[in-house]
Amino acid sequence: MTKLQILLIICSIAFIYLDCRTYKRHKISLATFLFFFCWALIIWIFSLKIQWLNAIGITFWLNRWADLVVYFSIIILLYCVFHIINIMSKNWNDLTRLISTTAINEAYNENKDQIAQFENSKELDEFIFNIRVYNEWKVLWETIDELVEYWVRKIVFINDWSKDNSLDILREKKKQYPKCLMIIISHTINRWGWAANKSGYAFIKKYANELGIKRVVGFDPDGQMDIKDLERFQKAMKEHKNADLFLWSRFIKGAKSYDMPKSRRVILWISRIITMIFYWVRVSDPHNGYRVYTLDAFNKININADWMHYANEINEQIALNKLNFVEVPVNIRYTDYSLWKGQKNSNSWKLWFKMIYEKFFWE
């Protein structure tokens, strides 16, 4: 048996082990498990074909035992790198959990009297909006006014330690609209996008009964989303009463995306394919920010990511919890500010890396 055969057999065994371990942790579907398992078997079978391996050995200069040592060293180094990343990620999440818990308790103590006195009088009072805020002073005024004019009266704002005067604007708007239940959760350290969402989600889950809500809405304050699209969500809710989750889509009939860069379209198309392979969820717009959950579905969603990878985790949770979802066409307004403030195209590589890391290596 050649050196390359030994290397391939070890790699195939490791791949099968990783695949079984990931499936056991309910991180992948049965179909995805079988897909990767078959590939591992192909590697195993391939390793038994000497003539094929000789050609590969020549291609990759694997003609000496020293080469095998180098290859194994690279594998061990990669393992050590992922192990270190795992430890750092756990420490990061522990810090986020501490900051989030403190912020949630302070927010509830500050607003518990107003929560107890608030009475639902309209259909939209059964909705609560979750909005993360980080340096949004340029658009925050207009966004809040649009929401209130549309009769939205329950909003959880998560101020992720903004460096501008976003927190002052939130406090001023809270005074301006005393009939609205505006809850401000403030992180003492900036923890990034999804960490802010996690605090808002945790608050809503913990106090849902006191808040008197039936649905949760994910919304961004950067001016991209149109609050009037909530009418489309409401219409979809009446037509699909058994649906658990309603997702925006920029790519189905009736949707409009103003000034969307072509590169963004390509990246989202690739993301659609990757989401199908890794999570076995067929969605036309995987990274959607405008979502409406039923309370039951919302309580089933369990997310760990602090960064923008959370969108992938939500797709994963849809598959794991077998949630029924409906896609709703929306009007998205791409402006210079929203493109500057939102995700850069270059971050897609980071998102895909995080997706693979979280799927196979995160405990």
Residue 97: name the closest of 315, 357, 305 by CA. 305
pTM surpassing 0.75? yes
Look at the alpha carbons of 147, 148, 152, 157 in this order and tell me if their dihedral is positive or negative.
positive
CATH number, domain 92-360 = 3.90.550.10
The Cα 34–Cα 195 span in angstroms is 33
State the pLDDT at residue 67.
54
Q: Which amino acid is at 358?
A: E
Range 222-238 burial, b when 16+ CB lie within 10 A, else e: bbbbbbebbebbbebbe
Strand 256-258 versus strand 331-333 pairing type: parallel
Query: What tens-digit pLDDT sequence spans the chain (363 residues)?
Result: 777 677 778 878 887 887 787 788 776 778 778 888 888 887 787 777 767 666 766 666 665 544 555 566 567 667 666 766 777 788 888 999 999 999 999 999 999 999 999 999 999 999 999 999 999 999 999 999 999 999 999 999 999 999 999 999 999 999 999 999 999 999 999 998 889 999 999 999 999 999 999 999 999 998 889 999 999 999 999 999 999 999 999 999 999 887 788 887 888 888 888 888 888 889 999 888 899 999 999 999 987 776 667 778 888 899 889 999 999 999 988 877 776 666 555 565 666 666 666 666 665
Report how far residue 257's alpha carbon sits from residue 14's, in angstroms, rounded to the nearest whole number.
Answer: 44
Residue 132 and residue 224 in contact, taking contact as beta carbons nearer than 8 Å = no
What's the alpha-carbon Rg for the chain, to the nearest Å? 24
Cα distances from 292 to residues 69, 108, 171, 215, 236, in angstroms, run: 53, 23, 26, 7, 11
Q: Which amino acid is at 355?
A: M
CB 213 within 8 A of CB 296: no
Domain with CATH 3.90.550.10 in the chain: 92-360
